[in-house]
Amino acid sequence: MKMNEGVEWAVHSCVNLCFIPGEAVTAKRLAAFYELPTAYLNKQLQALTRAGILSSTSGPKGGFQLAKAPDKITLLDVVVAIDGSEDAFRCTQILKAGPGADEKADYRKTCVVSMSMRKAELTYRRELAAKTIADLVEQVESTYPETAENTRGWFANLKS
């Protein structure tokens, strides 16, 4: 059960975008910040764009920026955008192949195994949904006060 590696990049990039509001930042610069492969990060940002989390602009002066307020973007949104919305536990309804099975039953809802696994995942998703990008930014700013300014400065210098 491994999550897509791009989720980490995506979340960090969203946080960084919060430090540079009202400006389109290219995938190239976002990638340079963490020394990531540009093309691959671009792919993740595309996924975020498709999900409506970012908005993208082509051409010179183009790039990505947040499409929504940071407090409206949850960690779950980002995870789903990159990693898909499917549950980790896939109930294949093996009970249907068992003896005495009800062909019409939806065992994803009645099987106690499936229910337990789903319940656990639900708490997981709920936890992720409770955390927004704005929360993360706030946490960073209170714990590492210089980070915001440093990041802004770094991106400003790279511009030249």
For a second copy, the binding residues in 118-157 under the rule CB under 8 A are 119-121, 123-124, 127-128, 131, 135-136, 139-140, 143, 147, 150-151, 154
Produce one character per residue of 44-63: b if its CB has 16 or more CB atoms within 10 Å, e if not.
bbebbeebebbebeeeeeeb
> Which positions lie near DNA, rule CB under 7 A?
2, 4-6, 26-28, 37, 39-40, 42-43, 45-46, 49-50, 56-64, 83-84
Neighbour-count burial of 3, counting CB atoms closer than 10 A to its CB (0-12 exposed, 13-18 middle, 19+ buried): exposed
Q: Which of 55, 83, 134, 148 binds a second copy (CB under 8 A)?
A: 83
Three-class SS state of 22: coil
- As measured in angstroms, the least distance from the Cβ of 5 to DNA is 3
9 is a site residue for a second copy (CB under 8 A): yes
- 12 or 138: whose CB is closer to DNA? 12
102 is a site residue for a second copy (CB under 8 A): no
Are the C-beta atoms of 62 and 54 separated by less than 8 Å?
no
From the centroid of its chain, how far is CA 133?
10
- Containing 66, the helix (H) or strand (E) segment is strand 63-66
**Contacted entry of DNA, a second copy, none for residue 68, CB cut-off 5 to 8 Å set by kind:** none
